[in-house]
Structure formats: C-alpha cells, structure tokens
Structure 1
C-alpha cells in the first residue's frame, strides 16, 4: 500500500491510497451526503459541494473508469477497482 497526502488552501486533508486491487481517494470535506454531488465521467470525478450560499467544484483524475462513491461522517471516499 502507498499513501499520498495533500492539504488544500483551506487545510482540508486529501489522502490517496493505492492497494493491490484498488485505488482510494479519501477527502475530509466536512459535509453531509446531501451537500455533496459527485459525477464520474470516464476517468474524471466531478465533485460539487454546496454549504449554505457557498458552492465549490473540484475535479479529480482517476486511474480508471470503474469508480464507486460514498460519503461517511464528512469524508468523501472514491474507490476505483484496478
């Protein structure tokens, strides 16, 4: 397993884990599943977050098209099977 960690301008943590059979992106977004919409188009994940009047969008390139998305306790998890 390998781990990469990034902190954005607002110091939210994003970690990327690479396992033998999958690749996982975990982002501490601090929002509920109702406040986040994720679309996967090809190998791009488009994340739109809405909190109050603030709307932000981010895109992540994925290593493959077979992705699943979940949110749990303010953490966005995108898993791609190899």
Structure 2
C-alpha cells in the first residue's frame, strides 16, 4: 500500500503508524472533503471524494482491515503479519 499518491499529487498529509499488533494509516483530506466516503472491497480500499476516486491495495499479510472516514480524515487499521 502506498500513501505517496496522496502526498505527492494532492499535498495531503498522510502518516503510517506501526504498533505491536496493528498498522494504522491516516490521510487528512481536509474539512472541505468531510462528505468523502470509504469502502473496503476484497483487498482494496476505495475512497471517493466528489468526482475523484482513489484505490489503495492492501499489503500482503493483512488479515483484517477496518476503514472509516470522519471529518475528512481517512483511517485504515490493519491487523496481521505485514
């Protein structure tokens, strides 16, 4: 999974946090995108911002993923042996 597509093209703030039992990815799209949506289909996170769509492939070894977006901040929580 690469976060560069957000930081390079859109100037968004994207971070990856590593914990003992999970990895958390966070992307701040800004409050003007507070109505953005996120969905998880198989191994792909799909983010829709107005007319734009971003697809993020989950890394191999991600056993369980949880996604949500609130106030324009996308959070992807990954469990497994990444």
Tell me the TM-score normalized by structure 1: 0.71
Q: Which residue pairs with 1:37 in the alignment?
A: 37
Instruction: State the Cα deviation string for residues 4-61 of structure 1 (Å, max 9, x = none).
Output: x7422221111122222111110011121xx2221212221011111xxxx1111112
Name the CA distance, whole Å, in 1 between partners of 2:52 and 2:49. Answer: 5
**1:67: which partner in 2?**
65
CA RMSD in angstroms, aligned pairs only? 2.1
Q: Does 1:16 align with 2:16?
A: yes
Which structure dedicates a bigger proportion of its chain to strand? Answer: 1
**Quick one: distance in 1 between partners of 2:13 and 2:26?**
8
Would the aligned equivalents of 1:42 and 1:65 in 2 still touch at CA under 8 Å?
Answer: no
Deviation at 1:72, TM superposition (A): 3.2
TM-score (norm 2): 0.71
Question: Relative to total residues, which structure has the larger helix share, 1 or 2?
Answer: 2
- Specify whether residues 62 and 10 from structure 1 end up closer, same or farther in structure 2 by C-alpha distance, changes over 3 A only: same
